[in-house]
A and B are shown apart, each in its own frame.
Chain A
């Protein structure tokens, strides 16, 4: 396994359109995270899955955002009715489970540009 992968790497869309991103975590990792990063800022947490259960969502995740991890493997993040303020790098990360914090391995990200 070569690490966390994300597709597409770049997405340009017009305001009001829906977009969907995919994340494939490291295969043995049961924890999966989505973050958003804008220029000059650190990543901001969006949501977290343990296996297929979505256990935590940030207040940043408005009702236009939805994430799924249907079989506890890959995950999708959908943004409906995109706005220019959604333009950012969307990062996915995964980690192993168990007690305590674990190192999160990040994917290369999907860069979204909303025109």
Chain B
């Protein structure tokens, strides 16, 4: 079966750093995506990892370990606007078709 786990909720304060973990067990793997979704809005792309290691993009970084079935999203210098749901998603095959999403982690940033 397919299983993607992430914490349900996290809280943090402005200016802090937060790490959102994701573990996955899927039949096949061809990459892991992180999406951000504000309440009532569509998911928007944050990052993509297919090889082991860290990908950095501004305040956001994403890490992947394929051997451990593990990824994390690191958010630095948190801002109030970062309050959102963060979705971890895996694509299984080389064609890169369906995304299998976790349930998402709701991050609340307070001042």
Contact = CB atoms under 8 A, between A and B. Distances in A.
Given A40-B103, A101-B30, A101-B91, A106 B43 contact: yes
A61 to B, nearest CB: 12
Nearest to A6: B42
B54 interface: no
Interface residues of B, number: 26
A100 B93 CA distance: 8
A108 B50 CA distance: 27
Interface in A68-108: 91, 95, 99-108
Residues of A contacting B: mostly: loop
B7 to A, nearest CB: 13
B96 A48 contact: no
A31 B91 CA distance: 14
Given A43-B43, A58-B98, A108-B42, A103 B48 contact: yes
Contact of B103 (A42, A48, A101): A42
Contact of A42 (B95, B98, B101): B101
B42 A106 contact: yes
- Residue with the greatest number of chain A CB neighbours at <10 A, chosen from B41, B50, B97, B100: B97
Contacts of A105: 45
B44 interface: yes
A107 B43 CA distance: 8
B87 to A, nearest CB: 5
Contacts of B50: 100-101
Contacts of B97: 31, 33, 48, 55-56
B102 to A, nearest CB: 5
- Residue with the greatest number of chain A CB neighbours at <10 A, chosen from B35, B44, B91, B99: B99
Interface of B: 4, 30-31, 33, 35, 41-45, 48, 50, 87, 89, 91, 94-104
5 contacts: A33-B99, A43-B87, A91-B42, A100-B94, A106-B42
Interface of A: 4, 31, 33, 35, 40-45, 48, 55-56, 58, 91, 95, 99-109
